[in-house]
């Protein structure tokens, strides 16, 4: 058993991570750190954990813990690690954007490996620090990488992706309040979303980069990402399907469907489902994930499984609630 500490346990990502760690057969939750909720039982913050996890939040860390997950706001992980040192044997998995780009990957004698298993599995298996990808970045990269490496882009990619309200975090804002989100939809950060940097970085790793015209949207549902991407393509649909299926044949959590897909197929799971559709000389790629699981906490556990040499799906046999 490996001991686990979670830093930032009161948010959506932290809550999902606690839920997954609690039923993982090789992990033992040692502490959950919260600077604002110390002394409170975890079920007072996450009522869904009542009866399954009995632990009191703390404002102290164990520097000798085997694994620490950082579930802090973007820009806060580096500051936390400046003030709190961990043992050299401690594996650090950061779920913020602090270390995702290569220019930020080296911090305090550790090199953070970009933790997209379908791209960097070999490097992840040898790492002691992981920069977990962003949720939009995960959905979009899994849609783009086989095309970038095996086909090659001839023109820009146009992207429309809608995310649930949990993607905005647990803190309230004008656009995350129920009365605003309900029966509503809007775009935000058009063409400038912060995840574009890591997506371009990964495309450059496997092939020639391409302009990405990304329109993120806020949906009136709680969790999941539904993304559609289209770009010029001269081949056949059957050839593209073969390329995608071959690319992901050894990656258990990314599945290529010949049937049309919907968001509820993946909600509450660590899966990404992809679907390809051709219209004349344009290929449409649809990608769906759960933003809190494959887009955050589940992928963090997937990375840990690889790093520890365990089965990749250990503790991640989660089923969607499609009805």
3-state secondary structure the chain: CEEEEEECCCCHHHHHHHHHHHCCCCEEEEEEECCCCCCCEHHHHCHHHCCCCCCECECCCCCCCCEEEECCCCCCHHHHHHHCCCCCCCEEEECCCCCCCHHHCEECCEECEECCHHHHHHHHHCCCEEECCCHHHHHHHHHHHHHHHHHCCCCCEEEEEEECHHHHCCCCCCCCCHHHHCCCCEECCCCCCCCHHHHHHHHHHHCCCCCEEEEEEECCCCCCEEEEEEEECCCCHHHHHHHHHHHCCCCCCEEEECCCCCHHHCCCCCCEEEEEEEECCEEEEEEEECCCHHHHHHHHHHHHHHHHCCCCCCCCCCCCCCC
Pairing of strands 2-7, 225-232: unpaired
Token digits for 20? 């997954």
Is 135 considered catalytic here?
A: yes
Question: What residues contact 47, with CB distance under 8 A and at least 6 apart?
Answer: none
CB 290 within 8 A of CB 262: no
Pairing of strands 157-163, 129-131: unpaired
- 18, 70, 135, 196: the active-site residue: 135
> Which residue has 């790793």 as its token pair?
205
> Which residue has 């009542």 as its token pair?
50
> Which residue has 């057969």 as its token pair?
25
The set of catalytic residues is 135
């Amino acid at each position: 058993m490996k001991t686990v500490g979670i830093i930032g346990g009161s948010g959506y990502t932290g809550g999902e991570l606690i839920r997954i760690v609690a039923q993982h057969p090789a992990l033992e939750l040692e502490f959950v750190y919260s600077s604002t909720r110390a002394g409170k039982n975890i079920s007072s913050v996450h009522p869904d954990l009542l009866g399954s996890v009995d632990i009191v939040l703390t404002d102290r860390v164990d520097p000798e813990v085997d694994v620490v997950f950082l579930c802090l706001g973007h820009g806060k992980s580096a500051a936390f690690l400046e003030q709190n040192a961990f043992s050299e044997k401690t594996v650090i998995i950061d779920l913020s954007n602090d270390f995702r780009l290569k220019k930020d990957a080296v911090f305090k004698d550790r090199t953070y490996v970009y933790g997209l298993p379908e791209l960097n599995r070999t490097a992840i298996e040898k790492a002691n620090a992981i920069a977990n990808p962003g949720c939009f970045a995960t959905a979009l990269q899994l849609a783009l990488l086989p095309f970038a490496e095996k086909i090659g882009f001839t023109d820009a990619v146009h992207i429309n992706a809608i995310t649930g309200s949990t993607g905005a975090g647990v803190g309230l804002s004008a656009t995350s309040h129920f009365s605003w989100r309900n029966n509503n939809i809007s775009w935000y950060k058009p063409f400038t979303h912060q995840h574009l940097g890591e997506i371009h970085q990964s495309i450059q790793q496997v092939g020639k980069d391409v302009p990405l015209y990304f329109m993120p949207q806020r949906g009136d549902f709680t969790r999941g990402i539904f993304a559609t991407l289209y770009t010029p393509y001269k081949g056949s649909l059957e050839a593209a399907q073969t390329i995608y299926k071959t690319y992901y044949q050894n990656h258990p959590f990314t599945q290529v469907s010949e049937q049309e897909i919907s968001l509820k197929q993946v909600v509450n799971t660590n899966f990404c489902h992809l679907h390809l559709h051709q219209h004349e000389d344009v290929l449409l790629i649809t990608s769906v994930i759960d933003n809190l699981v494959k887009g955050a906490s589940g992928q963090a556990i997937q990375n840990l499984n690889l790093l520890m040499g365990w089965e990749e799906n250990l503790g991640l046999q989660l089923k969607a609630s499609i009805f």
